[in-house]
Chain A
Amino acid sequence: MLKTEHMVLNMGPQHPSTHGVLRLELELEGEIITKVTPHLGYLHRCFEKHCEAMTYPQIIPYVDRLDYLASMDNELGYAVAVERLLDIKVPERVEYIRVIMAELQRIASHLVAVGTYGIDIGAFTPFLYCFRDRERIITLFEKTCGARLLYNYIWVGGLSHDLPVNFVNETRDFLKDFKKTIIEINNLLSYNKIFIERTANVGVLNIESAINYGITGPNLRASGLKWDIRRDDPYSIYDRFDFEIPVGKGLHGQVGDCWDRYFLRVQEMEQSIRIIEQALDQLPEGEITSALPKRIKPVEGQIYSRVENPKGELGFFIVSKGQLQPFRVKVRPPSFVNLSVIGELCKGHLIADVVAILGSIDIVLG
């Protein structure tokens, strides 16, 4: 008998489709995967420890960097957590602007997910169509607060700037054009025969393991569970809007395969359009900051507050000892938790499928 052993292939950290600095250690038998070990921590910013040395408003620019594709949603999550700790209400106009920004950011984040997923599968063109539209969202943000990626816009108790002139009309124009882009993406990618062949029935995540691994966000919904924090544990003013929560149906294969996870993001973008349109219609006039003391000093206590980020549940656990700085901040990151399932999903698939599965989980290693 010849002595045979499995081949170990290092995928990353300098690999085009590991979506940042992730290293996957693949154990292979030919092209078939027997084991996947993800190695993280190439980009660690000691965020939680930093927070203990800073005042509550100072933390916001750091929150931006948690998931750099969804900074607005991160800020919203943090602002909501601190406001709950302080037990204050923010003005109506602020709430509406926050929802508009968060949903625009959700579209932008999903556009990156959908576009880069196309590249992972080998289609380059949809990526640039996605980025063309993402660029318009970023331009809207830039007009609002001057930054393109890390905004420092949503503050505790308010916002840094009011909306710029003509923002409402420009957003409406964008949404009108964006509806066409979704149709375009669907024709070019979602319903492409080769794309379906590559993604359907690949990396099937059933509902039990999804819950056991603590998967949240689009990945959980793609497995068939209708769970969205915007509806089930409402924050801000999400309970006022009429929107649907898409779930994976297994149109081209089993429920919870890569195609479901991909297509759910496309459907979520459509729902985000609905929310933004309603918010733009109802947008009231008013203040953009609430009356807060200069030095924010919550009373002793603790809070766990969670929001629905584009990638899943983003939770902030904040402990206050009645000082200017928080005593402890713990973040429950969606990408980190979602990535843990990759070992189970990849087993028995081919190398090409690892790329497809990793892309469909949509991680950001900020």
Chain B
Amino acid sequence: MIYEFLANLFGSGVIASFISGALPVVFIAIFTLFAVWLERKVSAHMQDRLGPMRVGYHGWLQTFADILKLLQKEDITATDTDKKLFNIAPVLTFMGSYAAFAAIPFSSAYIGSGIDLGILYIVAVSGLVVAGILMAGWASNNKYSLYGAVRSAAQVISYEIPTVIVILTVVVVIGSLNLTKITEFQTSRFWDWMIFGGSVAGIKKFILLPFMMIGFIILYISSLAETNRTPFDIPEAESELVGGYHTEYSGIKFTMFFLSEYANMFAVSAVASALFFGGYHSPFGYLGNLLGVSWLVPIEQFFWFTIKGTFFVFVQMWLRWTLPRLRVDQLMTLCWKYLIPIAFVNFLIVALIMVL
């Protein structure tokens, strides 16, 4: 474990917990830099153009330049805003998505906090993001911001229900809310991943398989809605609400929202891969085990986890640059009339299979 390793290295638990607590921030920062560049490149190549090409090789330093630019920008606070809430909102939003990283198992050696309610904690703490967004929308004293914020709150709260039901479906099979245990249940052979029915013995595995697939699709759709990505990006629907809840924000505060969005994207992808795609497990054994170098295994696991997370982030980008946007009422219809009933029936069937 990283914490014990650091505590031994520095001989002090305080420094060790500080460093291991700061690791997700470093990860989020690096990942955001990469993801923003990736998003621009992915969209560019899908749209028959090149994207950033000037700063660094194929523009890989473009995001650094952009962040620098954003930091230098004047921090505008409009006259009639509620100053306190206006300043707290971006921090709170970022906190919500950062806190979720505490319970995400990056590898068998690193998890911020291996609490037993891991997955529930992530769902709960992601709710903070909504509070931040509502706060931003209200404090901005701008009608577009308010519309964006209210839409966002309605959307995230609605889509948390199918998410939680699908999570329950997995929990019913595995019998634990601890993400490390959920990951360990799915071994390092890809046919034991939950999407293929998990490492459940015998015929049950094959009966579970289709229901797990349905569960994953529902989870992925609702995770798109929770991160406000297309086709559910109505809170910041550019063509309708200008910038949505962050219309009035600029400079470093806008950067916070931006970071939070990309951190959220990775968080939901990480949850999806931890629940259904074996988490940090390699799909086919470890090089470290093969060579007999035991410290290589956690590093490999981290690599696989990041790869899986990034892959789902890529799919989110892919969808964003392909699909149009739903309307508010259609979004709610999709959630309440289709996703929740299907997820619920799916959950009942899986529970029944496990009982039998």
A195 within 8 A of B: yes
Q: A189-B324, A197-B330 known; A122 and B47 CB under 8 Å?
A: no
Q: A9-B143, A197-B330, A350-B329 known; A16 and B324 CB under 8 Å?
A: no
| B327 close to A350 (CB less than 8 A) | yes
Who on chain B is nearest to A120 by CB? B239
The residue in B321, B327, B328 that gathers the most chain A C-beta atoms within 10 A of its C-beta is B327
Which residues of chain A have C-beta atoms less than 8 A from B182's C-beta? none
| B326 close to A198 (CB less than 8 A) | yes
Identify B240's interface contact among A123, A129, A195, A352, CB under 8 A.
Answer: A352
Which residues of chain B have C-beta atoms less than 8 A from A354's C-beta? 240
Please tell me which stretch of B7-15, B116-124, B227-235 contacts chain A, meaning at least 4 of its Cβ atoms lie within 8 angstroms of it.
B227-235
| B47 close to A129 (CB less than 8 A) | yes
> B317 to nearest A CB, angstroms?
12
Measured in the bound complex, the distance between the Cα atoms of B238 and A355 in whole Å is 11
| A128 close to B48 (CB less than 8 A) | yes
In the complex, how many residues of chain B place their beta carbon closer than 8 angstroms to a beta carbon of chain A?
Answer: 28
Which residues of chain A have C-beta atoms less than 8 A from B323's C-beta? 122-123, 192, 194
Which residues of chain A have C-beta atoms less than 8 A from B143's C-beta? 7, 9
Measured in the bound complex, the distance between the Cα atoms of B146 and A9 in whole Å is 12
| A122 close to B242 (CB less than 8 A) | no
Who on chain B is nearest to A14 by CB? B242
> A167 to nearest B CB, angstroms?
25
User: 1/0 contact trace for B42-55 toward A, CB 8 Å?
Assistant: 01001111000000
Q: A122-B325, A188-B322 known; A17 and B47 CB under 8 Å?
A: no
| A15 close to B242 (CB less than 8 A) | yes
B237 within 8 A of A: yes
Measured in the bound complex, the distance between the Cα atoms of B203 and A351 in whole Å is 52
Who on chain B is nearest to A194 by CB? B324
B141-165 CB contacts (< 8 Å) to partner A: 143-144, 147
In the complex, how many residues of chain A place their beta carbon closer than 8 angstroms to a beta carbon of chain B?
Answer: 30
Q: A15-B242, A122-B237, A350-B329 known; A198 and B147 CB under 8 Å?
A: no
Measured in the bound complex, the distance between the Cα atoms of B241 and A354 in whole Å is 12
A121 within 8 A of B: yes
A344 within 8 A of B: no
| B324 close to A118 (CB less than 8 A) | yes
| A352 close to B234 (CB less than 8 A) | yes
User: 1/0 contact trace for A98-123 toward B, CB 8 Å?
Assistant: 00000000000000000000111111
The residue in A119, A128, A132 that gathers the most chain B C-beta atoms within 10 A of its C-beta is A128
Measured in the bound complex, the distance between the Cα atoms of B241 and A16 in whole Å is 9
Who on chain A is nearest to B49 by CB? A128
The residue in A31, A119, A125, A352 that gathers the most chain B C-beta atoms within 10 A of its C-beta is A352
| B327 close to A197 (CB less than 8 A) | yes
User: 1/0 contact trace for B124-146 toward A, CB 8 Å?
Assistant: 00000000000000000001100
| B238 close to A352 (CB less than 8 A) | no
| B239 close to A350 (CB less than 8 A) | no
Measured in the bound complex, the distance between the Cα atoms of B241 and A124 in whole Å is 16
> A184 to nearest B CB, angstroms?
11
Q: A129-B47, A198-B327 known; A123 and B239 CB under 8 Å?
A: no
| B46 close to A197 (CB less than 8 A) | no
Which residues of chain A have C-beta atoms less than 8 A from B239's C-beta? 16-17, 119-122, 355
Measured in the bound complex, the distance between the Cα atoms of B240 and A17 in whole Å is 7
> B237 to nearest A CB, angstroms?
7
Q: A125-B47, A128-B48 known; A355 and B240 CB under 8 Å?
A: yes
Measured in the bound complex, the distance between the Cα atoms of B46 and A198 in whole Å is 23
A353 within 8 A of B: yes
> A48 to nearest B CB, angstroms?
33
Measured in the bound complex, the distance between the Cα atoms of B327 and A122 in whole Å is 10
Q: A9-B143, A189-B324, A192-B323 known; A352 and B46 CB under 8 Å?
A: no
Which residues of chain B have C-beta atoms less than 8 A from A119's C-beta? 239
| B324 close to A198 (CB less than 8 A) | yes
| B230 close to A122 (CB less than 8 A) | yes
| B147 close to A194 (CB less than 8 A) | no
Q: A124-B321, A128-B48, A128-B49 known; A194 and B238 CB under 8 Å?
A: no
| B242 close to A194 (CB less than 8 A) | no
Q: A122-B231, A122-B237 known; A194 and B47 CB under 8 Å?
A: no
| B324 close to A353 (CB less than 8 A) | no
Which residues of chain A have C-beta atoms less than 8 A from B237's C-beta? 122, 352
> B313 to nearest A CB, angstroms?
18
| B231 close to A194 (CB less than 8 A) | yes
> A119 to nearest B CB, angstroms?
6
Q: A16-B242, A129-B48 known; A121 and B43 CB under 8 Å?
A: no
| A352 close to B327 (CB less than 8 A) | yes
Q: A16-B238, A16-B239, A128-B47 known; A31 and B324 CB under 8 Å?
A: no
B211-250 CB contacts (< 8 Å) to partner A: 230-231, 233-234, 237-242
6 more A-B contacts (CB under 8 A) besides A17-B240, A198-B330?
A125-B43, A188-B322, A192-B323, A350-B328, A352-B240, A352-B327
A-B contact pairs, 30 of them (CB 8 A): A9-B143, A17-B238, A17-B239, A31-B147, A31-B328, A118-B324, A121-B324, A122-B230, A122-B325, A123-B323, A123-B325, A124-B43, A125-B43, A125-B47, A125-B321, A129-B47, A129-B48, A188-B322, A189-B324, A195-B324, A197-B326, A198-B324, A198-B326, A198-B330, A350-B327, A350-B328, A352-B234, A352-B237, A352-B240, A353-B327
Nearest 3 A-B pairs (CB), nearest first?
A: A122-B325, A17-B239, A123-B324
